[in-house]
Amino acid sequence: MEQGIVALRQRGLMRQSRLDAAASYVRAIRSLGPGILEADACELWSETYFSLSTGVIVGTEGPHWVPQTVTIRKLEEQPFVTDVKTYPPPAFCNR
């Protein structure tokens, strides 16, 4: 991620990423055993690019789906995200 930020700055740009939480959804949830859940989630993201020198919008991308499987484990009586796998869209995102 840091290299991406440096590359944008070298081009005089800043990127703002936005999650559309209202359109994003959980496709499926599975129990993998005691204290372990796996969820297939579909997040809808878009990006806006700004000029660092003027603050003017110079481009946009998206919206696009980011399909992912999230593993949640119960550790010390608290839920923790222990793994996230992303996939090329659309994968299981079909809305």
CATH number at 48 reads 3.10.450.50
Write out the two tokens for 83: 């793994």
Domain that holds residue 48: 2-86
In a domain, 23, yes or no: yes
In a domain, 21, yes or no: yes
In a domain, 94, yes or no: no
In a domain, 67, yes or no: yes
Rounded Cα distance between 10 and 24, Å, is 32
Asked if the model's pLDDT at residue 95 lies above 80, the reply is no
The enclosing H or E element of 76 equals: none
Q: 40 and 72 in contact (C-beta within 8 Å)?
A: no
User: In the chain, how many domains are there?
Assistant: 1
In a domain, 12, yes or no: yes
Asked if the model's pLDDT at residue 35 lies above 90, the reply is yes
Average pLDDT, the chain: 95
Instruction: Give the pLDDT score at 94.
Output: 85
In a domain, 76, yes or no: yes
Residue 89 CB neighbour total at 10 angstroms: 12
Cis peptide, bond prior to residue 90, ω within 30 of zero: yes
Instruction: Give the pLDDT score at 63.
Output: 96
Instruction: Give the pLDDT score at 58.
Output: 96
Average pLDDT over residues 37-50: 97
Asked if the model's pLDDT at residue 12 lies above 90, the reply is yes
Asked if the model's pLDDT at residue 54 lies above 90, the reply is yes
In a domain, 10, yes or no: yes
Q: The pTM is what?
A: 0.82
In a domain, 44, yes or no: yes
In tens, the pLDDT along 61-76 reads 999 999 999 999 999 9
